[in-house]
Amino acid sequence: MKLIKWVMFILSIIVVIGIILVYQFGPVVGAQFGKPIYIFPPSAERYGKVAIDMIEFNGYYAVGEKWEETKEKLEKEMEKAITYEDVYPILEEALQEGGGKHSFLLTKENRQTLSIKDEMPVVTREGDMLLIDLPKHSDATTNGKQYAETVLKEIQKNTDIKGAIVDLRGNSGGDMGPMVTAISPFLKDGDLFYFEFLEDSMSVILEDGKSIGGGTQVTTDIAPFKLDVPVAVLIDNQTASSGEAVLMAFMGQPHIKTFGQPTAGYASANVTLPLYDEAVINVTVAYNKTLDGKIFFDNPVQPDVETDDPLEHAKKWLTK
C-alpha cells in the first residue's frame, strides 16, 4: 500500500508540474507549430503578455536595452486592459519595436477580409518578347498551382522567344512559393538568396521548379524546364515583401536587368503566429540577403535603370 501511495504521489507531482509547464510555455511553444495551447481562456493581460513573449522569442529587434524598456512599459499598460481588443494597440507598438516596420497584427475580421480570391498572372507575347505580369499572391493552398501553371503553360508554348519581361510593379507580396515556381524556367537551380537571421543564415533554393525554404512548395503538372534568355524585371514603390524576394531571386542570375523605381523596402521574412482569439501577429525574423551578400534591411532596393517608363526601357534593352 505504501508503494502505491508513493507512486500516486509522484504521479500527481508530475501532473502538477506538467500543468504548470503547459500553462507557462504552451501558448508560446504551441504558436510556433500553428496552435497556441491554453489550459483555460486567458485574461486580457495574460493574452497580451503571451503575445509579447512570442514577439520576444521571434522578433529580429527584440533584444537589448531598448526592447526591455519597451516591454516593461507595455506590460504595465496591459494591466489596465479589459478585453483582447484593448490589447491590440499595445501589441502593434510591441511589433514595431521588436519586429520592425514589416511586422503587423491581423485581427480575425482583417483576416477574413483579406482571404479573397487571388488575382492570376497575365502573360502576353509581343514580337520576340514575353510579357509576364506577376501579381501578389496569398492563398497557395487553394490556387497556388493555378497561379504557377498560368505562367508556365505560356512560357512552354513560347520557347522561341528572345527575351522576357517580368512585371513586379504593384506586387506587394504574400506567398513567394507560387511566384518562384511560375518564373522558374528563367532561374538557375540552386541557391536563389538567403534569409539572414540574427545568429544564422538559411538558403532559399530552387529545385525541380520549387522554392525550398521560402514560401509554399507548389507542385504543377508541368515538368521543370529551362529557357536561357535575358529577362528584364520591372519594379516600383509597391514592390514589397515576397515581391522583393522574387526580385532578389533574379538578382543573382545572369542576363538580368531591373527597371523602374526603388522598391518599398520590406525585403525580409516574417513568421505568422496565432493568438487565442484567432488574431495573428506577423513578426520579422530575418532579412533577405542576395547571393553576393547584400542586405537591404528596411531600405528600398534600387533598380539598375531608374525610370518612369520602365516597360519602354526594358523593351529597348531586350531588342539589343
pLDDT score of 21 more than 50 = no
The confidence score (pLDDT) of residue 24 equals: 53
Crossing angle of the two packed helices 44-58 and 2-32, in degrees rounded to 10: 70
Summarize pLDDT for 170-196 with one digit per residue, the tens: 999 989 999 999 999 999 999 999 999
pLDDT tens for each residue of 68-119: 999 999 999 999 999 999 999 999 999 999 999 999 999 888 766 655 567 8
pLDDT above 70 coverage of the chain, percent: 85
Q: Which amino acid is at 74?
A: L
pLDDT digits (tens, 9 = 90+) for 266-300: 999 999 898 988 899 999 999 999 999 999 999 99
What band does 315 get if pLDDT is binned at 50, 70 and 90?
very high
Higher pLDDT, 173 or 140: 173
Q: What is the average pLDDT score of the chain?
A: 88
Which residues sit opposite 174 in a β-bridge?
A: 137
Q: Left (φ > 0), alpha (ψ -120 to 50) or beta: where does 64 sit?
A: left
> Where in the chain are all domains bearing CATH 3.90.226.10?
122-192+200-269+288-319
What residue type is assigned to position 308 of the chain? D
pTM of the predicted structure, to 2 decimals: 0.86
pLDDT score of 114: 57
Percent of the chain at pLDDT > 90 equals 72
Phi, psi torsion values for 54, nearest 5 degrees: -65, -45
Residue reference for cell 502593434: 92
Confidence at residue 9, expressed as pLDDT on a 0 to 100 scale: 52
Task: State residue 22's pLDDT score.
Answer: 46
pLDDT score of 91 = 95
Look at residue 215 and tell me whether its pLDDT is greater than 60: yes
Residue 122: per-residue pLDDT: 96
Nearest C-alpha neighbor of 70 from the set 90, 50, 89, 45? 90
Cell of 175: 506567398
Residues 59, 270: Cα–Cα separation, whole Å: 9
Three-state SS letters, the chain: CHHHHHHHHHHHHHHHHHHHHHHHHHHHHHHHCCCCCCCCCCCHHHHHHHHHHHHHHHCCCCCHHHHHHHHHHHHHHHCCCCCHHHHHHHHHHHHHHHHCCCCEEECHHHHHHHCCCCCCCEEEEECCEEEEECCCECCHHHHHHHHHHHHHHHHHHCCCCCEEEEECCCCCCECHHHHHHHCHHHCCCEEEEEEECCCCEEEEEEECCEEECCCCCCCCCCCCCCCCCCEEEEECCCCCCHHHHHHHHHHCCCCEEEEECCCCCCCEEEEEEECCCCCEEEEEEEEEECCCCCECCCCCCCCCEECCCHHHHHHHHHHC
Q: What would the pLDDT profile of 146-166 be if each residue is shown by its tens digit?
A: 999 999 999 999 999 999 999
Level-2 CATH architecture, domain 122-192+200-269+288-319 = Alpha-Beta Complex (3.90)
Output the pLDDT for position 141: 78
pLDDT of residue 36: 66
Contact criterion met (CB below 8 Å) for 227 and 155: yes
